[in-house]
Structure 1
Amino acid sequence: MSKEVKKATLYVDRNIEVGEVDKRIYGSFIEHLGRAVYEGIYQPGNKFADNEGLRQDTIKLIKEIGVPIVRYPGGNFVSDFHWEDSVGPVEKRPHRIEPAWGVIETNEFGLHEFMNWSKKAGTETMYAINLGTRGIEDAKNVVEYCNIKKNTLYSDMRRKNGAEDPFDIKLWCLGNEMDGPWQMGHKTATEYGRIANEAGKIMKWIDPSIEVVACGSSNMGMPTFGKWEATVLEEGYDTFDYLSLHTYYGNHENNTPDFLASSVDMDKFISAVVSVCDYVKAVKKSNKQINLSFDEWNVWYHSNEQDKKLEKWIEHPHQLEDIYNFEDALLVGSMLITLLRHADRVKIACLAQLVNVIAPIMTSDTGAWKQTIFYPYMHASQFGRGTVLTSVVKTPTYESKHGDAPYIDSVVVKDEENGTVTIFAVNKDLENDFELTADLRQFADYKVKEHIMLTHDDLKAVNTEENPDNVAPVAYNGTKLDNGVLTSILPSRSWNVIRLEK
């Protein structure tokens, strides 16, 4: 019995734009959690490590993605973190109990080591401060340590510790998930808004060139969602530059259509937070626009049961090590499309995380390999630079727990500088191919350069060190652009990248 080929139509105008893509939308996250740092990016003595213990195999894969910014050092970890523990001679750094994840933190890898790694990895730093168990003075001191040139207590401490030049970190997180009762130093919205505003003010007094991200809700299901955002912004609207969003999805019920529809929920989340930001803007009669930092997003559920069995108070255990399958890659593709569709307001986003911990890259002592979610993330980062065009896909929908979900998710990015147009599309239909058509007469001087496709017969297929290319992209040659009309087949359950060039 042959598959039915359904039809979808893409409508796009090259002159109607959503907004410019901020490259930081393709950011990621390294937390002192599990094997993200130790054995992930840093492993002295490993055959892939350089003379500073930095794993070159993971750096190579990170450069392949083109990760522009990395959030560090947490996450829940940061809410009890003393930044001073992570600088100075390694042999003098304290080993501390780390309550957030129930482990021992040695501080062997710290601020200087991370800044050195980020330079080698070709990425910038988004540094998070502790507004859980610490506060305003510590925030001031770490900005002074990182960004002031010399002749002050903390800048001279940095120079004594081996970094003559400032780190010049431009983007700072004012704590992490402070709305969550699981967070060390959890606060009410008013308490957090006050301390975040005061911390942000003094940080900007130290270095007026920095930007700061205030904590929004940890997810849309929080009982304080909406009210939290409004209260926090009312306290610090003039100080804050971005408001954060976090969300993770999992296929707990093994219902793939519902799972793939999670991007509908993500879209609602973004729209709701934009509405609250603009409400406070109106109330304050302000001309300033608060944009969004979606600085934690991913699929996370595979490792939940395994992590319940971990021994406490050991160093960097195998923790949060989700092994991603093919259907996870489809959802990650749809989530990337969702972020791009909101490029006018979402300026920063961090796939959480980068190596070993709920990550696109996995390592062992003998190598590093790409998980299934590596590919949509890499493709979006490589080819999704430029301007997002307003587009509409006429497609059948299906019912899900998140509401009506389109079978075809799509977004169009125009890159005038390089003369390219890229169509990202996910076919969420598990049985049927779709014929996609688009009137592209406005792009008459373009031709089809390539169509990259990620698909697999087994939704649960994974990549392993022994079989790293089990789920990998292939080229499709059937996409045509004739007389200004694009036609293409999007196979059932597929991630697609259609690239046009002048």
Structure 2
Amino acid sequence: MTDATARLDPHYEIADIDRRLFGGFVEHLGRHIYDGIFEPGHPSADADGFRTDVIELVKELGVSTIRYPGGNFVSGYRWEDGVGPVAERPRRLDLAWHSTETNEVGLHEFQTWLDRVGSELMLAVNLGTRGTQEALDLLEYANADTQTAWTDQRAENGRDTPFGVKMWCLGNEMDGPWQVGHLNAEDYGKLASRTAKAMRMIDPGVELVACGSSGRGMPTFGSWERTVLEHTFDDVEFISCHSYYQEHDGNAQEFLASGVDMARFIESVAAIADTVAATKKSDKRIMISFDEWNVWYLHNADGSESGHEFKGGAWPVAPRLLEDKYHALDAVVFGDLMITLLQHADRVRSASLAQLVNVIAPIMTEPGGPAWRQTTFFPFSITSRLAHGRAVRVPVSASTFTSEKLGEVETVNAVATIDDEGVSLFVVNRSTTDAANLRVDLAPLVRALGREVAVVESHLLHEDDLYAANTLEDRERVGVREAEASVDGELLSLALPAVSWTAIRLA
């Protein structure tokens, strides 16, 4: 047992929270669309074939904006294949995931699903095998409010009014050699700039995201961001970050430092963007869209890539790909990644959990059977529900451990949010060995509010078995329970078990 202290001062403000920070990501990959959100023969399916049990879980998850349709998938996607009469849509080979795409679900169907879950659409355009003209066609089809050939077709397909998509991604992971149509930074930057300028001629109000690096470990990381932004600085609002984390070689303690790696990634990209701004003598600040993040067991124990069972073989429809089973340990790391995003709310104005259903997802389904919450569901749903208003730094003094890659890391990490109704505090104990007694000084908060506060809601995610998981056979093995939390005057006391995530609501 160790002691830790913290201070909750409303003057330690980071920024107002953009609700797009709690975004998600849906890609035509594996069983995400087909057998995931869309299964016409399922007992819960609505008239449009969407699983209502999944809709209810996505609503509970609290996802604000959903990036669609990819991902690697978008770099070979013809958006026109997904509109018009479903019976007339072509089947296509998807090179990204070595599958067959039926195109039963496209733009119109996905928007119908979004309306039911209460989320906003964020579209990605194909700058891999296609380019500026196709991006303009899609934008005109989706957003134009005048009569044209494309808007006439949109009306014929059942929608008289524009989709009104605000946020657009200029391609996906174009720095990655695995990407269909991969480009170097110079060529991508020029293409993205041309496309952005043309898109604004149709809709000046769009917000555009340039592709950043696919990960902090990419060999071109840093130089890629600098070159791309030198071309696109005046044309975009965001540059993207993508990062996935997993436990390697059974080293849970190293895995629990993942939030520090994410923080350094964000801070590095922000510094590069500000350097480009300085060279251009501009006070504009490029924001970050962390539009792919999650725990993903991308590599097997032997270092080989996982999840691509069908390469070189058949081209199946909706194969079981990337269906990671998440443990309690994964959920604690996941909760810490959410804390890290909130700690950088001044620059991370949008983020997309990748992905939502079946594919590295907080929600799993069985064809014809149940849907259930994975362990990572809980920190996302609770944080999305409780984190409103503005984010506030919570300095913590705690013991440390030594990370092989990141140096000295504090065992306890925290952030708070403050809104008109109260205060939410999110805390993680990264230690694999020691529980912690956390004492939080609330005096600055009490003075600012002019009244005392009390704990009205608490949640603890912790399992003695770090590898406990929710499965088809035992769908409620892992959940959250009430935390040990109390307020005595101006002091909040929290008991933090080793490897745990906690959320507290004060009012």
Does the CA-based 8 Å contact 1:10-1:392 persist in structure 2? yes
- Residue 407 of structure 1 corresponds to which residue in structure 2? 411
Q: What secondary structure is seen at the aligned counterpart in 2 of 1:450?
A: strand
User: Residue 447 of structure 1 aligns with which residue?
Assistant: 454
1:270-349 maps to which residues of 2 (within 5 A)? 270-301=266-297, 307-310=307-310, 311-349=313-351
The residue that corresponds to 2:136 in the other structure is: 140
Shift of 1:302: 6.7
Deviation at 1:205, TM superposition (A): 1.1
Which residue, out of 186, 190, 197, partners 1:194? 190
Distance 1:151 1:493 in 2: 58
Shift of 1:150: 3.3
Residue 474 (str. 1) matches residue 481 (str. 2): yes
The structure 1 segments of at least 4 consecutive aligned residues displaced by more than 4 Å after TM superposition are 302-306
2:314 and 2:203 map into 1 onto residues whose CA distance is: 40
Give the deviation of 1:306 after TM superposition. Answer: 5.8
Which residue of 477, 494, 503 corresponds with 1:497? 503
Give the alignment partner of residue 109 of structure 1, picking from 105, 128, 152: 105
Deviations 1:358-381 (A, max 9, x none): 000000121100000000111111
CA contact under 8 A between 2:215 and 2:241: conserved in structure 1?
Answer: yes
> SS of 2:326's equivalent?
coil
Q: What 5-or-longer segments of structure 2 have no aligned partner?
A: none
**How do residues 341-490 of structure 1 correspond to structure 2 at under 5 angstroms?**
341-364=343-366, 365-401=368-404, 402-415=406-419, 417=420, 419-444=421-446, 445=451, 446-476=453-483, 478-490=484-496
Alignment partners' CA distance in 1, 2:378 and 2:412: 19
Residue of structure 2 in register with 1:165 after alignment: 161
Does structure 2 retain, via aligned residues, the 8 Å contact 1:190–1:232?
yes
Is 1:79 the counterpart of 2:83? The answer is no
Describe the SS at the equivalent of 1:37: coil
Q: Are positions 1:50 and 2:46 aligned together?
A: yes
Which residues in structure 2 correspond to 1:262-273 (within 5 Å)? 262-273=258-269
- Are residue 242 (structure 1) and residue 238 (structure 2) matched? yes
What is the aligned-residue RMSD (CA, Å)? Answer: 1.2
Per-residue CA distance 1:323-365 (angstroms, 9 max, x = gap)? 1111100110110000000000000001100000000000012
CA contact (8 A) 2:46 2:52 kept: yes
How far 1:439 moved relative to its partner? 1.2
Tell me by how many angstroms 1:432 deviates.
1.8
Matched residue pairs, number? 494
> Match for residue 224 of structure 2?
228
Q: State the shift of 1:303 in Å.
A: 7.9
Whichever residue aligns with residue 325 of structure 1, its letter is: H
Superimposed CA distance per residue, residues 141-176 of structure 1 (whole angstroms, 9 cap, x where no aligned partner): 100000012311111110111111111110000000
Q: Under a length normalisation based on structure 1, what TM-score does the superposition of the two structures give?
A: 0.97
**TM-score, scaled to structure 2:** 0.96
Runs of 5+ unmatched residues, structure 1 = none
Distance in structure 2 (CA, Å) of the matches to 1:100 and 1:284: 37
SS state of the match for residue 180, structure 2?
coil
SS class of match (1:474): coil
Distance 1:431 1:376 in 2: 22
SS at match of 2:188: helix
Q: Deviations over 1:58-115 (max 9, x none)?
A: 1101111111000000000000111111100111111011111000001011111001
| Identity percentage of aligned residues | 47
